[in-house]
Chains A and B, each alone.
Chain A
Amino acid sequence: MEQTHLTPLYISLKVAGISTLLVFIVGVCLAKLLSRRSFWGKGLLESLLLLPMVLPPTVVGFGLLILFGKNGWIGQWLASLNIQVVFSLLGAVIASAVVSFPLMYQSASTAFNSVDARYENVARTMGASEWRIFWTITLPLAWPGMLAGLVLTFARALGEFGATLMLAGYIPGKTDTLPVAIYFAVESGQTEKASFWVIIIVSLGLSATLWLNWWSNRTRRLTGR
């Protein structure tokens, strides 16, 4: 009994962990690539990247179904590789990743742009390669802002419901993340079970925001800004 109680938490952490890792890598690379660069259509591209933040999750879920469904563009191709997205853990990961991506991209983008270009320029005149400048100047200076984005992304991924339900469905022991499990527990009148998970997810969310608050205060103090 104890095991089934904790299964949704375990699945949620797994889904949010994997999706946050993916989103972090892709978000940071894209943000770095697009920062301090202007080209035709950049505004449109950035709007598209941020779109999942303003759309209802059901709309995102619908779009993902079209893409990843059996007859979808990507779904068909994945099916030929024997990979199924719909009604699978992978589906939950993709839904969480897409919905939480804008938070990471936005944070990383702001963080990169807030790094004073003079630091990078002075490093260039000192002979440092672009690669070295990124690792020793840009990334460390942008890190506090990015870490905040990382925590928000994880929290958002953990709380994802609509798109997850549409793409991954509700398969107990397989795709029942905490938010989905809460919904179906309430639906079937299992208030006690739902309350237990609600407490868990509220504690996780609260720890994330508390830590974020503490961290940003500490960073401000340490850098003397």
Chain B
Amino acid sequence: MFSLNITKNRKQFQLDVCFSALAEIVVLFGPSGSGKTTILNCIAGLEQPDSGEIRLDQQLFFADRHKPLPPQQRKVGYLFQDYALFPHMNVEKNIRYGLPRKDADLRSLLQVLRIEHLLASYPWQISGGEKQRVALARALATEPKLLLLDEPFSALDSETRKQCQDELLRYQQIWNIPFIIVTHDMDEAKKLGDTLIFLENGRIAAIEKKALAHE
């Protein structure tokens, strides 16, 4: 179980959010500048909150009067908005970057994501949808316990976008870890989220749980 309860002062407003997640898809929905990416950065350890607590299972990521756990030790996968694939490495090197063992077996991961044929290509040689799958493979290769996705489909055309959304739902079932997705597209939020968190000026305006409808 993942839980977060943090505050952080920003120029325009104060971020003050609290939520938890099981092995499900949590969507952070809100207009740009509502603090969505800051929340992801705090979870990954790239930014620190001013106070509060972030915890994944037994592991404390951040707590008052504790030294924050460095991002390297959090086992959190992070898919950036335009994927941030290392431009000077081919697809295989990108995916293997975080793996301690050079000969680790990636076949099943590559198969599921359908990118086996791209291994020798460089990021600038592949399409947007392929980049997205490669970035996902790279994030999942390190076997994270939590996956963060910042506007994962914003760089794709609507056809590819729909397809990738379907695939993402499938991947979450396969990996069975919490996915936290940031988006400002309402349809996407509704389609993907088991839990929808509506953010406004750094605060949670509403939380909607899809699971409740089935109960």
Give the B-binding residues of A (Cβ under 8 A): 116, 118-119, 121-129, 136-137, 140-141, 223-224
B141 (CB) vs chain A CBs: closest residue: A126
> Given the complex of chains A and B, what is the CA–CA distance between A118 and B100 in angstroms?
21
Q: How far is the CB of B29 from chain A (nearest CB, A)?
A: 22
Q: Within 8 Å CB of A223, what residues of B?
A: 87-88, 124
Known contacts A121-B46, A122-B80: A128-B97 contact under CB 8 Å? yes
Q: Within 8 Å CB of A116, what residues of B?
A: 84
Interface-facing stretch out of B68-76, B166-174, B189-197:
B68-76
Are B87 and A127 in contact (CB-based, < 8 A)? no
Are B72 and A124 in contact (CB-based, < 8 A)? yes
Known contacts A125-B74, A126-B97, A129-B72: A118-B84 contact under CB 8 Å? yes
What are 23 A-B contacts with C-beta separation under 8 Å?
A: A121-B78, A121-B80, A121-B84, A122-B84, A123-B97, A124-B44, A124-B70, A124-B71, A125-B44, A125-B74, A125-B76, A125-B78, A126-B98, A126-B138, A127-B72, A127-B75, A127-B142, A136-B97, A137-B86, A141-B87, A223-B87, A223-B124, A224-B122
Are B88 and A125 in contact (CB-based, < 8 A)? no
B19-46: CB near A (< 8 Å → 1, else 0) gives 0000000000000000000000000111
Q: Within 8 Å CB of B75, what residues of A?
A: 127
Q: Within 8 Å CB of B87, what residues of A?
A: 141, 223-224
Q: Judge if B77 is at the interface, Cβ distance under 8 Å.
A: yes
The residues in B between 40 and 93 inclusive whose CB is less than 8 angstroms from any CB of A are 44-46, 70-78, 80, 84, 86-88
Q: Within 8 Å CB of B70, what residues of A?
A: 124
Q: Within 8 Å CB of A137, what residues of B?
A: 86
Give the A-binding residues of B (Cβ under 8 A): 44-46, 70-78, 80, 84, 86-88, 97-98, 100, 122, 124, 138-139, 142
Q: How far is the CB of A147 from chain B (nearest CB, A)?
A: 14
Q: Within 8 Å CB of A119, what residues of B?
A: 84, 86
Q: How far is the CB of B143 from chain A (nearest CB, A)?
A: 11
Among candidates B78, B88, B100, residue contacting A122 with C-beta atoms closer than 8 Å: B78
Q: Within 8 Å CB of B44, what residues of A?
A: 121, 124-125
Q: Within 8 Å CB of B74, what residues of A?
A: 125
Q: How far is the CB of B138 from chain A (nearest CB, A)?
A: 7
> Given the complex of chains A and B, what is the CA–CA distance between A170 and B44 in angstroms?
60
Q: Within 8 Å CB of B72, what residues of A?
A: 124-125, 127-129
B46 (CB) vs chain A CBs: closest residue: A121
4 pairs of A and B residues whose beta carbons are closest in the complex: A126-B98, A224-B124, A118-B84, A124-B71
Are A141 and B76 in contact (CB-based, < 8 A)? no
> Given the complex of chains A and B, what is the CA–CA distance between A67 and B132 in angstroms?
58
Q: Within 8 Å CB of A125, what residues of B?
A: 44-46, 71-72, 74, 76-78, 139
> Given the complex of chains A and B, what is the CA–CA distance between A122 and B76 in angstroms?
10
Q: How far is the CB of A180 from chain B (nearest CB, A)?
A: 42
B77 (CB) vs chain A CBs: closest residue: A125
Q: Within 8 Å CB of A129, what residues of B?
A: 72
Q: Within 8 Å CB of B142, what residues of A?
A: 126-127
Q: How far is the CB of A185 from chain B (nearest CB, A)?
A: 47
Q: How far is the CB of B85 from chain A (nearest CB, A)?
A: 9
> Given the complex of chains A and B, what is the CA–CA distance between A77 and B82 in angstroms?
56
Are A118 and B80 in contact (CB-based, < 8 A)? yes
Are A127 and B98 in contact (CB-based, < 8 A)? yes
> Given the complex of chains A and B, what is the CA–CA distance between A116 and B123 in angstroms?
15
> Given the complex of chains A and B, what is the CA–CA distance between A122 and B88 in angstroms?
15
> Given the complex of chains A and B, what is the CA–CA distance between A62 and B72 in angstroms?
50
